[in-house]
């Protein structure tokens, strides 16, 4: 089975990143990987999720083109797929939002 890689438009790329950041576990993975590559078991432990949950979230992030798997003997570790993601995430962390407390409950927007 051959895998076809596709480049996406800026709008589609931002939508994929937004989808990834909309989930706390996926956002945690991206923030952890901006610091250093990691094994799934270590990510699962640090984020307090099962290995199965982590496997599913990494598959999603891989499919979106945000992380890549790197074989390491019998194990695989993960890193951000593009060198521009870490500084982009750093910039996003500098954004200050003033949230209407009647609109968003912290888990998503009800607007």
pLDDT digits 0-9 by tens, 9-43: 888 888 889 999 999 999 999 999 999 999 999 99
Q: What is the pLDDT of residue 1?
A: 42
Domains and CATH numbers, the chain: 19-90 (1.10.10.10)
61: left (phi over 0), alpha (psi -120 to 50) or beta: alpha
- Top pLDDT among 65 and 100 is at 65
pLDDT top residue among 49 and 8: 49
The whole-model pTM stands at 0.81
Which of 13-17, 43-47, 66-70, 97-101 has the least mean pLDDT?
97-101
Please tell me the distance from the alpha carbon of residue 93 to that of residue 105, in angstroms, as a whole number.
19
């Amino acid at each position: 089975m051959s895998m076809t890689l596709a480049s996406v438009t800026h709008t589609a790329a931002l939508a994929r990143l937004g989808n990834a950041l909309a989930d706390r576990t996926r956002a945690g993975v991206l923030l952890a990987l901006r610091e250093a590559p990691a094994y799934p078991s270590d990510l699962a432990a640090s984020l307090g999720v099962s290995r199965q949950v982590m496997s599913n979230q990494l598959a999603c992030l891989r499919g979106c083109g945000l992380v890549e798997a790197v074989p390491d003997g019998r194990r695989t570790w993960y890193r951000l797929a593009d060198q521009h993601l870490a500084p982009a995430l750093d910039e996003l962390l500098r954004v200050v939002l003033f949230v209407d407390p009647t609109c968003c409950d912290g888990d998503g927007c009800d607007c």
